[in-house]
Amino acid sequence: MAAAPVWSVDPRTGKQREQVAVEATAQEVDEAVRAAHAARGSLADRAVRSAFLRSAADQLEGAKDHLVEAADAETALGPVRLTGELARTCYQLRAFADIVDEGAFLDVVINHPDDTATPPIPDLRRYKVPLGVVAVYSASNFPFAFSVPGGDTASALAAGCPVVVKAHPDHPALSELVAAVLRRAAAQHDIPEGVLGLVHGFDAGVELVKHPLISAAGFTGSVRGGRALFDAAAARPVPIPFHGELGSLNPVVITEAAAAERAEAIGTGLAGSMTLGVGQFCVKPGLVLAPTGAAGDRLVKSLTEAVSDTEAGVLLDHRMRDNFVAGVTERTQLPEVDTPVTPGAGSEHTVSPGFLTVPAEKLTAEGEHDLLLEECFGPLTVVARYEDETEATAVLSRLPGNLTATVHLSTEEAAGDGRGAEILAELTPLAGRVLVNGWPTGVAVAPAQHHGGPYPATTSTSTSVGGTAIERWLRPVAYQNAPEALLPRELRDENPLGLPRRFNGRLEV
């Protein structure tokens, strides 16, 4: 039976552009994983790794025009957005190169023997080593930053782990182009091209997570798909870490005082955040708790005007469009749900943004309105109007884990007067990133960033953005009473590599 072809499709028309590849067979997945496994030694030298990452960024920038054109043809995200995303991706690669050069991620700790301790302490030296080959599952909505050259790949390579990427079917041509660019960068440093494998097809993705030489996996996508792969990773004879980003409602709480102070600005800001990228950001605010009364009415009026002025847009593929239209229809048919701006189908290939309102009381207990507490991918948000603080708290208590949670406070509340601190405490268990007087869309690549959250936002407590993302692909190992001559250079007393470390309880940087 011939392997199924992989087509590049134009989401603006739904028409096939070109055949890019064929879906990988189990044998081809095995070959890709084994080639990556064989390339591990080429990443052993940190200087080579960091140089490779910098070359990858340079090569991507050199091919920018061609790559952005290809990405736009397959995603309809537009050249401005895609150019910015590619710049972010290159910045991220260089940031991980800096982390590799610094060496603090190795977490070196050395304890000399101490017979006076209870119990006595032997000679112990601990640091972190790469896990092995990492499987990366690309996202649809970020064809650069969460795809072949994205954060999972960059952090895994920085950790010293070769990567095999399962390409997303929404941008297969771009995936092939980017993989070729990264392999050219690898060749500059005598790193075999197998250090970055690329496979296509649903079955290939399942085979990948089951392969015995895969040591960990990173995933960004749907709850259904991510949970199936997570279960497969856990069911292996040797289970592996599965770092999946699955779905998030990203709740927003607007206090009555904040609405009274700046209802119009909040409404306009919410409209911009929920429609950004045609509502296809993983941190899109999907549920907003807004007060009833005059201030809340002003906010809804501002939101109505801003969303009404937002044009229809193209989603990443027609399957997503169909799911969005069906999801909107199902939600709008619920009792006491109003549509100040009706979302749904635009033209044959587009969707129009909108939002729903519902009394928050309908969400305080289990019932048919629970559908409104589930993510709807696309330019839609739900505004739940609460009568008092108790009602808002009751809704928050029913929410699953999220990537973000946001609160909008008045000037006085932000200064410590009122319930500001209490609301922050209520939101902290719900999300990995808690925002005050801002909007969650936009995930800065910074050392202190955390892009993750309680399940189902993610399947682990780690982050996929920021410097600490490298920790997902490392494991600690300690040597006890090992002769100095046998120790890795990273763990020797004289510190020949000049690494930051904790030496007999003292931090050395």
Residue 167 belongs to a domain: yes
Decide if pLDDT at 412 tops 80: yes
Share of the chain above pLDDT 70, in %: 100
Residues 123 and 232 reside in one and the same domain: yes
How far apart CA 302 and CA 408 sit, in angstroms, is 16
Residue 10 belongs to a domain: no
pLDDT in tens, 343-395: 998 888 999 999 999 999 999 999 999 999 999 999 999 999 999 999 999 99
Residues 412 and 365 reside in one and the same domain: yes
Mean pLDDT for the chain? 97
Q: Is 69 among the residues known to form the active site?
A: no
φ, ψ at 343 (rounded to 5°)? -85, 170
Are the C-beta atoms of 166 and 199 separated by less than 8 Å? yes
pLDDT in tens, 134-173: 999 999 999 999 999 999 999 999 999 999 999 999 999 9
Decide if pLDDT at 502 tops 80: yes
Residue 398 belongs to a domain: yes
How far apart CA 486 and CA 336 sit, in angstroms, is 72
Decide if pLDDT at 174 tops 70: yes
CATH number, residue 317: 3.40.309.10
Residues 98 and 156 reside in one and the same domain: yes
Residues 235 and 311 reside in one and the same domain: no
Look at residue 346 in the predicted model and tell me its pLDDT.
85
Give CA 430 to chain center in angstroms.
17
Q: Name the packing angle between helices 172-187 and 46-62 (round to 10°).
A: 130
Residues 293 and 432 reside in one and the same domain: yes
Judged by DSSP in three states, 198 sits in strand
Decide if pLDDT at 40 tops 70: yes
Residue 152 belongs to a domain: yes
Judged by DSSP in three states, 363 sits in helix
Q: What share of residues in the chain are helix, strand, coil (percent, to 5)?
A: 45, 20, 35
Decide if pLDDT at 121 tops 60: yes
Find the largest Cα–Cα distance for the chain.
78
DSSP secondary structure of 374-416: S---SSEEEEEEESSHHHHHHHHTT---EEEEEEE--HHHHTT
Phi-psi region of 78 (alpha: psi -120 to 50; beta: other; left: phi over 0): left
How far apart CA 102 and CA 98 sit, in angstroms, is 6
pLDDT in tens, 477-488: 999 999 999 999
Are the C-beta atoms of 433 and 403 separated by less than 8 Å? yes
Q: How many CB atoms lie within 10 A of CB 456?
A: 21
Q: Is 245 among the residues known to form the active site?
A: yes
Residues 102 and 49 reside in one and the same domain: yes
How far apart CA 381 and CA 249 sit, in angstroms, is 9
Residues 137 and 258 reside in one and the same domain: no
φ, ψ at 357 (rounded to 5°)? -125, 150
Residue entry with tokens 């649903």: 202
Residues 262 and 239 reside in one and the same domain: no
Judged by DSSP in three states, 334 sits in coil
Q: Which residues, in sequence order, are bridge partners of residue 402?
A: 431
Whole-angstrom Cα Rg for the chain: 25
User: Can you say whether the dihedral through the CA atoms of 179, 87, 452, 75 is positive or negative?
Assistant: negative
Q: How many CB atoms lie within 10 A of CB 4?
A: 12
DSSP secondary structure of 257-294: HHHHHHHHHHHHHHHHHHHGGGG--TT---EEEEE-HH
Decide if pLDDT at 3 tops 90: no
Segments forming the whole domain that contains residue 159: 24-246+461-473
Total tally of structural domains belonging to the chain: 2
pLDDT in tens, 230-273: 999 999 999 999 999 999 999 999 999 999 999 999 999 999 99
φ, ψ at 408 (rounded to 5°)? -110, 120
CATH number, residue 238: 3.40.605.10
Cα–Cα–Cα angle for 221, 149, 318, rounded to 5 degrees: 40
Residues 394 and 381 reside in one and the same domain: yes
Residues 191 and 280 reside in one and the same domain: no
Q: How many CB atoms lie within 10 A of CB 365?
A: 11
User: What are the tokens at 38?
Assistant: 């064989």
pLDDT mean over 192-214: 98
pLDDT mean over 414-423: 90
Judged by DSSP in three states, 477 sits in strand
Residue 150 belongs to a domain: yes
DSSP secondary structure of 66-114: HHHHHHHHHH---HHHHHHHHHHHHHHHHHHHHHHHH-GGG-EEEE--B
Look at residue 417 in the predicted model and tell me its pLDDT.
83
Residue 17 belongs to a domain: no
pLDDT mean over 185-214: 98
How far apart CA 253 and CA 435 sit, in angstroms, is 10
pLDDT band at 1; cut points 50, 70, 90: low
Type of residue at 349: H
The catalytically annotated residue of 282, 376, 391, 426 is 282
The catalytically annotated residue of 28, 74, 85, 245 is 245
Give CA 158 to chain center in angstroms.
18
Look at residue 115 in the predicted model and tell me its pLDDT.
94
Give CA 313 to chain center in angstroms.
23
Decide if pLDDT at 464 tops 70: yes
Residues 232 and 263 reside in one and the same domain: no
Residue 319 belongs to a domain: yes
Residue 426 belongs to a domain: yes
Residues 236 and 265 reside in one and the same domain: no
Share of the chain above pLDDT 90, in %: 97
